Amino acid sequence: MADSTGPISLTVHGAAGRMGRRVVALGMTDSSFHLVGAIDHAQSDHLGKDAGSVAGEAPSGVEISSTWPTLGDQTGPQAVVDFSLPEALDDCLAHCVKVGSPLVVATTGLTDEQKQRLSDAAASIPIVWAPSMSLAVNLSMKIAEQITAALKDVSGGLDVEILERHHRFKADAPSGTALKFGELIAGQLGESTTHVHGREGHTGARTREEIGYHAIRVGDNPGEHTIVFGMLGEKIELNVAASNRDCYASGALAAAKWLIQENKGPGLYSMFDVLGMSDN
């Protein structure tokens, strides 16, 4: 149970997708949650089908729909978990603000304008937003910051390159996680850091200030990031890899529980907050 008022009424946005299905499946087996809504695109082939069945589980009694569930006079806690597409997020945000629902946003590839709308919405509802809901990835981000802080002034200079590998279906590049690693590492390196996406042709020698990003798309890889800290004479490679998508799905559900159990007010929270890894 999420708290004394009973299980969290869970709505999954993007429920028919690769991630949405895993959130539905894990949410159904967790007594802290009661699945009440499964939203997907109005043109989805899965509209009208049972969300549990689409997820490969027992029927849930909840059909995949393009309209939001009406929770009526139910007084228990509710939460929305979003794994969809950037262009789908605005409607989801508007709905959550309208009904006052806590929201977990996992979708990546957001525009600057969308990030601003997320911040604006967080003035009225609690939102967890993170490019990776994985414990191992978030811990690796903290380790990457520490390695950078320790090596940034190393004799001969430090070169940081970020390699990410994902399944062939991924729509955005580089991954939201790679960008977040880069942002955190740049925070340690300093303001003159530049971000270089791939290299081709006569690029000249690498500068000390740049972070390089390389996006690999292969098969069914559920997500892997390697941060290379190269020096003259030696290197460190920090590798974090998912074996399947459940690290993200269970992280998102943990974030929804955290919002409810900690009784979080309006605000924009990160997985560092959820995992107790924030600096402040």
Ligand X SMILES: O=C(O)C1=N[C@H](C(=O)O)C[C@H](O)C1
Q: Is 40 in the site for ligand NAI (CB under 6 A)?
A: yes
Q: Is 84 in the site for ligand NAI (CB under 6 A)?
A: yes
The listed partner (ligand X, ligand NAI, none) that binds 39, CB under 5 to 8 Å by sort, is: ligand NAI
> How far is 265 from 256, CA to CA, in rounded Å?
13
> How far is 280 from 273, CA to CA, in rounded Å?
9
Q: Is 27 in the site for ligand NAI (CB under 6 A)?
A: no
- The H or E element that residue 225 is part of is strand 224-230
Per CB under 6 A, the list member of 21, 34, 95, 170 interacting with ligand X is 170
Q: Which stretch binds ligand NAI (CB under 6 A): 53-61, 107-115, 118-126, 262-270?
A: 107-115
Smallest gap from Cβ 225 to ligand X, in A, equals: 7
What are the E-state strand segments in 98-223?
103-105, 126-129, 159-166, 194-197, 210-217
Which residues, including other chains, have CB under 8 Å from residue 209's CB and lie 6 or more apart?
189, 192, 193, 194
- Of the candidates 77, 135, 80, the one whose C-alpha atom is nearest the C-alpha of residue 262 is 77
Amino acid at residue number 41: H
Q: Is 175 in the site for ligand X (CB under 6 A)?
A: yes
- Please give the DSSP secondary-structure letter assigned to residue 202: S
- Return residues touching ligand NAI (CB under 6 A): 13-14, 16-20, 39-41, 44, 83-85, 88, 106-109, 130-133, 172, 248
- Return residues touching ligand X (CB under 6 A): 108, 131-132, 166, 170, 175-177, 223
Q: What residues are designated binding site?
A: 14-19, 106-108, 130-133, 167, 176-177
Q: What residues are designated binding site for NAD(+)?
A: 14-19, 106-108, 130-133
